[in-house]
Structure 1
Amino acid sequence: MISDQIRISLLGPLEITPPLGRPAEDPPFQVTAVKLRQVLAMLAVNANTMVSTEQLIDELWPYGPPRTVKTIVQTYVYQLRKLFRRTFHGPQRPQPLTTRPGGYLLAVPRDNVDVFTFQRLLEQGRSSLDQGEPAVAAEQLRASLELWRGPLPADIVHGPFLQGLSVFLEEQRLEAVSLRIEADLANNRHRELVGELRALVATHHLHESFHVRLMQALHRSGRRSEALNVYHQLRRVLDEELGLEPSPEARRIHQEILVSS
């Protein structure tokens, strides 16, 4: 099926990659209208799962829908179907956007949507790390992070669902970075990580994991005093901004550095 070949990228600007081998005269698939992009994003991040009309309404008009809202939603879906039909025409190209009782479904494999590919690679990397395979984990986590071209979705208006998903995926991205760094440390790449970790600590100064990994990278690079300074900086920031103490892991690593020769 032609829908099996459509690829949708949301980790950054919205991109629709048409099937290989389509006629050269086919126009590019471009969605410029703000609400249409929002509808397409909602359908894509729920690929192969029905999105109800009510979910679309809540996303597009969080502060109250217009009086003819269901007709407007039907119009948006019709316009998207026209774009699919115009771009992927032909007798062997079934319509990927279908109507279901109470909603709509975009029949595209989830592996063809970068959000799901990212999450799958993140889970594989976490599992490989847990199983003591840091080299495999680092490769999987790098592959997951290479899918990111910017925040999700960079050029689409956010309603409550897409805004929540954007926040969730950004947290997952930071987790993927942290796990990849953990894997690289296990692969003895500590010297290569110092610069990256300093940048991450400066950007995410309340993200304790990056401070801890920087302490480890510096200590393993023979820079014990700098590693201790990172701990003191972390302790000060947590105390001043959150009224908290460093975690047991941070305190344990700090103690290990203190007693090391």
Structure 2
Amino acid sequence: MRYEILGPLRVVDRSSVTSISARKIEVLLAALLVRADEVVSSEDLVKEIWGTRAPRQAVAALHVYVSQLRKFLRRPNRTESPIVTARSGYVLRLGDDELDFHVFQGLVRQGRAAQRAGRTHEACEAYEEGLEFWRGPVLEDLRDGAIVNGFVCWAEQARLECVESFVEAGLELGRHREFVSYLYARIEELPLNEAFYRQLMLALYRSGCRADALNVYHSARAVLSEELGLEPSAALKRLHHAVLVDAPELEAA
């Protein structure tokens, strides 16, 4: 069985895909998955589900939600529930089950190891495979509590780093034209990320589109100035100058 949290929360069991319609129980499962194999206190779960508006019988209601969640996760071939009661709360034990974020992290580690060893093609494939696990905004409707919201920030940063590494590996392999449209889409998604402007300028330059590369720099400068009141970073300025003078180091290896 695989739990999927890199998008809307769902549970995949062979060919079956199921989700929870009751929001409070969905929040409960999300919090337990975010801290899989760790005890989450009843107090923290109550805050995650109700925030500052917890009812008087919140702990009793939490017990009911846990019971309902156990029924949802029950499978014919299992004798024990993955949700275990601890002294101060509950823990969801993954055991042989998968969590898509853990699989993603493993592929990123694999990609980085391959890149350090000079196996760029293998690294690019690992990054790309990892990014395929992202199905949309992470737990989008469940971000009211500290547990889920904190995880979302961490996960989005991990995705961003993976995208940058994926593009770097692709550019090393000479896939410049292929990544131009991909990078335009990433800039549309995250217009304040200078790394994507830098990578797009390089991809365009190596594709023979020098003027377009320079236009990307001016777009970046305008956005950064308007949104943050900042100039482009030193790295982006150096790349702009290198494109202006046709610096030989910009050519692909």
TM-score, normalization by structure 2: 0.88
The alignment partner of 2:223 has SS state of helix
Q: 1:98 to 1:186 in 2, by over 3 A?
A: same
2:131 aligns with: 145
Following TM superposition, the consecutive aligned residue runs of length 4 or more in structure 1 with deviations greater than 4 angstroms are: 27-30
**In structure 2, C-alpha distance between the alignment counterparts of 1:257 and 1:29, rounded to whole Å:** 51
Instruction: Determine whether 1:260 maps to 2:246.
Output: yes
2:91 aligns with: 105
TM-score, normalization by structure 1: 0.86
- Offset from partner CA, 1:22-72 (integer Å, 9 cap, x none): xxxxx9855321111111111112221111111211211222311111111
RMSD: 2.2
Contact 1:10–1:152 (Cα < 8 Å) also in 2: yes
Q: 1:63 to 1:249 in 2, by over 3 A?
A: same
1:225 aligns with: 211
**In structure 2, C-alpha distance between the alignment counterparts of 1:19 and 1:192, rounded to whole Å:** 34
Point out which structure has higher relative CO (alpha carbons under 8 A, 6+ apart): 1
1:18 aligns with: 13
Which range moves more in the overlay, 94-103 or 122-131? 122-131
Q: Residue type of the partner of 2:68?
A: Q
2:30 aligns with: 41
2:63 aligns with: 74
Identity %: 40
The alignment partner of 1:122 has SS state of helix
Aligned equivalent of 2:54, options 65, 88, 97: 65
**In structure 1, C-alpha distance between the alignment counterparts of 2:17 and 2:173, rounded to whole Å:** 44
Gaps of 5+ in 1: 1-5, 21-26
Residue-pair matches, total: 247
Deviation at 1:84, TM superposition (A): 3.0
Deviation at 1:200, TM superposition (A): 2.1
Q: Residue type of the partner of 2:246?
A: S
- Offset from partner CA, 1:54-105 (integer Å, 9 cap, x none): 12112112223111111111111111122333xx135x52221110110111
